Amino acid sequence: MNAATLIITAMISLHPAQDVAVDEVDLIELNHFYDDRGRLVLDQVIFYDWCVVEARFQVRDWRLLKSPAQIPRKNWRRGDFFTVWHDGDLLREVHAKGIHETWTQYDPELVEREFLPKEKRQKLRVPKTLLIKAP
């Protein structure tokens, strides 16, 4: 087992199952967005679902890449790709059939808002335990 696998296993085992939000998407994009002078603006992970009606991938959600541990990697057992990270108070795990890495001078997530507005996106799920508010 490599160090990243051990860390992820430890993170998952320290959290009860109800605190892990698990999602499946069709594609994960690791995007590096640079300005017109070649300076890095941000690194982000964008999650896409395939839309049969539009015959294209559409953004479901996205997150800033805050740690190298968040970089998607191959899940050899399942044959897919995944990323795990702390997203606020919960541990989030997202699996995808495919992955690609891009280096752009535009923000793909922002451009995709022209095709599917942000408020109409499905979003990554929120566990029911977090939907219950304390009195």
List the chain domain ranges: 3-116
Name the token pair of 67. 């740690």
Question: Does residue 15 have a pLDDT over 50?
Answer: no
Question: Does residue 56 have a pLDDT over 80?
Answer: yes
What's the mean pLDDT in 90-116?
95
Alpha-carbon span 75 to 28, nearest angstrom: 13
Question: Does residue 47 have a pLDDT over 80?
Answer: yes
Alpha-carbon span 53 to 93, nearest angstrom: 27
Split at pLDDT 50, 70, 90, the class of 88 is: confident
User: What local confidence, expressed as pLDDT, does residue 5 receive?
Assistant: 57
Name the token pair of 82. 């995944």
Question: Does residue 32 have a pLDDT over 70?
Answer: yes
Percent of the chain with pLDDT over 70: 79
One-letter-per-residue 3-state SS of 109-128: HHHHCCCCCHHHCCCCCCCH
Q: Closest Cα partner for 30 from 93, 76, 73, 89?
A: 73
Question: Does residue 132 have a pLDDT over 90?
Answer: no
Per-chain mean pLDDT for the chain: 86
User: What local confidence, expressed as pLDDT, does residue 4 receive?
Assistant: 59
CA distances (Å), 122 to each of 25, 42, 52, 54, 96, in order?
11, 23, 15, 15, 16
User: What local confidence, expressed as pLDDT, does residue 52 receive?
Assistant: 95
Split at pLDDT 50, 70, 90, the class of 17 is: very low
